[in-house]
Amino acid sequence: MGQLNAVFSQDNKDFPAIDITIDDSDLRLSFQHGIETVPSLLKFQDGVEVGRIVGWLKSEWEDFCESPDLCSESFQDFSPGCGSLSVSPDLLPSLEKRYGSGLGSRLVEFAAAEDEVERMYELGWSDGLPLVPPTSERVLRMLEGTTRSSDEILASVPPNLVDLSIEKIAINAVMAGCKPEYLPIVISALEAVCTDEFNMHGLLATTMPVGPVMFVNGPIRNEIGMNSGMNLLGQGNRANSTIGRAVQLTIRNVGGGKPGGVDRATHGSPAKVGLCFAEDEEGSPWPSYSQSQGFSSSQNTVTVFPGEGPRLITDQLSRSPDELARSLAMGLISNCHPKIVLGMDAILVISPEHAARFADAGWSKDDLNSAIIEQSIRSTDDLIRGANGIAEGLPEDFAGMELPKFRPDGGLIIVFGGGGAGLFSTSIAGWLSGDKGSKYTTKEIVK
């Protein structure tokens, strides 16, 4: 036999005047239970709804509750009821925001006959590749990847300096194809990118082909299955491919950084779509990059660097560490232009076979870094404008000096990774460094 446990009142907490009446004037329970007509009678077993009837028909209620004495003689036999306040057109939008999906972003609805993917292209949300439709269900699932509140404002995202909420990041992470467990990396990367020091606005506005290049250190690399080995800078790994893309989509869709607008790159590069990879800490003969920055091996970090696309440095013949250091320095000298020095930083992704030459000889990563800097020192008489019949170069005021390609105090980042076979390494040239350009940074990933 059924038992009436509670009565919920939408507009008068004192009606009906019985002990089990509960005030639902905020309409939360009515909305969450999908009440369209009042009165509605819901039957629960073990906390699960197993039936409901709407309107008032005395005999139907008594049959539904299996209680012939449920209603007193004073109750009328029939009443059709009326519409619930929780479905009122005037109230429904605010109720959906408060109690529905829990998302504050505007819902864009497509007609049933519309192709969602094609429509997102038309709306200008895409970077040129297909997007995953960011339904409420997918966004809520994405937000499960972080403990941070969905309405937390992380930063002002360039170039339009729009408030960037965790929810907006989750929406773009869904569109990029991320899994929820990738979201903390995307959030931390955007936190690093949206600073005056990194100068994302400058990266967009420059005609150089640069964007935020990201690499990850710490246990999270393996937890989410990032690639730090064969083809780590290429296709085929979901985390590598989508994390960087989510960052770029957020800058595009929230900050307004679109090609042809603020983004003025002459040619662009894959870094404009999203370039993210992991360092192979387990295979490396040296401490990881994040450890060299003072983080422990148990901390998760993401480093953002203003870089171009990757370029190969081939050396299959050098056997001694001195020979190979000279060879790598020569390959790096060509970054941006051989006559440009000190102004641009770089990443060197050194392969296992190349790194073995140095590790077998007892060289540390700092030894290698110092050797490359030393081997890149050149006479500025060959670098000034007009030297060797080339107009490009340093101003004449720099004549008579000797300068290295990169700043000795951090101008070259060396990370270990790649497939076990191949006597190659890869450089990623940077953009203008320092106060007038961009300062790369490493942030701890907070879940």
Phi/psi of residue 108, nearest 5 degrees: -100, 115
Strand partners, 412: 346
Question: Are residue 86 and residue 211 in the same domain, yes or no?
Answer: no
Q: Check pLDDT > 70 for residue 21.
A: yes
Alpha-carbon distance of 231 to 77, in angstroms, equals 75
Residue 76 binned pLDDT confidence (cut-offs 50, 70, 90) = low
Question: Are residue 197 and residue 264 in the same domain, yes or no?
Answer: yes
Q: Which of 64, 99, 134 delimits the end of a domain?
A: 99
H-helix or E-strand spanning residue 413: strand 412-416
Question: Are residue 296 and residue 337 in the same domain, yes or no?
Answer: yes
240: Cα within 13 Å, side-chain hemisphere: 19
Question: Are residue 412 and residue 376 in the same domain, yes or no?
Answer: yes
Residue 1 lies in a domain: no
1: Cα within 13 Å, side-chain hemisphere: 6
Q: What is the pLDDT of residues 317-348, one digit of tens each?
A: 999 999 999 999 999 999 999 999 998 999 99
Residue 69 binned pLDDT confidence (cut-offs 50, 70, 90) = low
H-helix or E-strand spanning residue 290: helix 289-292
Q: Check pLDDT > 60 for residue 296.
A: yes
Alpha-carbon distance of 243 to 89, in angstroms, equals 39
Amino acid 1: pLDDT: 52
Amino acid 70: pLDDT: 56
Amino acid 280: pLDDT: 98
Residue 435 binned pLDDT confidence (cut-offs 50, 70, 90) = confident
Which of the residue ranges 81-90, 146-155, 212-221, 353-362 would you say has the lowest mean pLDDT? 81-90
Residue 238 lies in a domain: yes
Residue 76 lies in a domain: yes
- Percent of the residues in the chain that have a pLDDT greater than 70, as a whole number: 96
Alpha-carbon distance of 233 to 417, in angstroms, equals 10
Angle between helices 352-360 and 321-333 (to 10 degrees): 140
Residue 259 lies in a domain: yes
Q: 401 or 92, which is more confident?
A: 401
Give one DSSP letter per residue of 182-243, joined into a string: GHHHHHHHHHHHSSTTTTHHHHHHSSS--EEEEEEESTHHHHTT---STTTTSSS-HHHHHH
Q: How far is CA 98 from CA 135, 142, 329, in A?
A: 17, 19, 59
| E strands present in 224-337 | 275-278, 301-314
Cis-peptide into 16, omega within 30 deg: yes
Q: What is the mean pLDDT of residues 36-57?
A: 86
Residue 269 binned pLDDT confidence (cut-offs 50, 70, 90) = very high
Furthest-apart CA atoms within the chain: distance in Å: 110
Q: What is the mean pLDDT of residues 181-203?
A: 97
Amino acid 324: pLDDT: 98
Residue 73 binned pLDDT confidence (cut-offs 50, 70, 90) = low
Q: Which of 31, 66, 99 delimits the end of a domain?
A: 99
List the Cα angle 35/40/43 in 5-degree steps.
100
List the Cα angle 192/165/138 in 5-degree steps.
110
User: String of b and e for 68-90 (b: at least 16 CB within 10 Å)?
Assistant: eebbeeeeeeeeeeeebbbbeee
Question: Are residue 254 and residue 403 in the same domain, yes or no?
Answer: yes
Tally of domains within the chain = 2
Question: Are residue 300 and residue 177 in the same domain, yes or no?
Answer: yes
Residue 90 binned pLDDT confidence (cut-offs 50, 70, 90) = confident
Residue 230 lies in a domain: yes
Residue 394 lies in a domain: yes
Amino acid 2: pLDDT: 59
Which of the residue ranges 122-126, 358-362, 431-435 would you say has the lowest mean pLDDT? 431-435
Q: What is the mean pLDDT of residues 400-408?
A: 96
Highest mean pLDDT of the ranges 7-16, 37-46, 91-100, 174-183: 174-183
Question: Are residue 374 and residue 331 in the same domain, yes or no?
Answer: yes
Question: Are residue 362 and residue 392 in the same domain, yes or no?
Answer: yes
Question: Are residue 146 and residue 93 in the same domain, yes or no?
Answer: no
Question: Are residue 401 and residue 306 in the same domain, yes or no?
Answer: yes
Residue 75 binned pLDDT confidence (cut-offs 50, 70, 90) = low
Question: Are residue 74 and residue 187 in the same domain, yes or no?
Answer: no
Question: Considering the entire predicted model, what is its pTM?
Answer: 0.79
Closest CA relative to residue 367, chosen from 264, 275, 287 = 287
Question: Are residue 83 and residue 127 in the same domain, yes or no?
Answer: no
List the Cα angle 199/167/300 in 5-degree steps.
60
Q: What is the mean pLDDT of residues 413-431?
A: 97
Q: What is the mean pLDDT of residues 163-169?
A: 97
Token pair recorded at residue 263 = 């983004």
Domain that holds residue 131: 121-444
Q: Check pLDDT > 60 for residue 97.
A: yes
Residue 107 lies in a domain: no
Residue 104 lies in a domain: no
Could you tell me if 325 and 368 are in contact, meaning their C-beta atoms sit under 8 angstroms apart?
yes
Token pair recorded at residue 110 = 């497509």
Alpha-carbon distance of 272 to 351, in angstroms, equals 24
Q: Which of 99, 131, 146 delimits the end of a domain?
A: 99
Q: Give me the chain's average pLDDT, please.
A: 92
Alpha-carbon distance of 82 to 56, in angstroms, equals 10
Q: What is the pLDDT of residues 301-314, one digit of tens each?
A: 999 999 999 999 99
